[in-house]
Structure 1
């Protein structure tokens, strides 16, 4: 009985370790409204585990609108370039500054400056791709 309990505890420990190591490659879904007049919003937060690119699979941007996206570190510093013209069913890759590795990062988006309405946006954010 003790041997079976020890085996079970070891197996659980391995599962927890494996899930923690791959946390950055797991999808973080988002579904929010972009504010009016190019105000930005945090869509998703995840841990940047390695120096691979981050990926966004955007499924919806409401109406015929587009959005711009970038990544910030936990202190609010921009750590990637900005991708513009994000719309329905698009995938984008971001090269993230090495300083963000090991820390939380935030996917940020904004409406086009001339948009006077709130726009729905939804998709998945992957802080790491490997």
Structure 2
């Protein structure tokens, strides 16, 4: 029936499709009026306050002193080091839909100097 309706009245058939497109719920992403760099900085500040530990009790065990250099699986011959990850980050496409974490490439690129060591270690572990 749909194909026949297209043959008889194309604009009526396409108006149905347009109505369905308008009903779709928009994807929620974090944006800032001053651009993606400000959005990334805002998210970093928010996460820093959320994960600062200010709600933890005052008496808690001391943190481990493990560093990236003392981790047994972090080696110099790893294919994932900071310069390699930095090189591949430049190829991340802008203006693309975010993943399920709602993080866009435009939000990661301004803070890449901060996250490169963590990403390199993460990729090495994986």
Larger radius of gyration: 2
* Pair in the same fold by TM > 0.5: no
**Which structure has greater helix proportion?**
2
| Bin for the TM-score computed over the shorter chain | under 0.3
Larger strand proportion, structure 1 or 2?
1
Q: Taking structure 2 as the reference length, what is the TM-score of the superposition?
A: 0.24
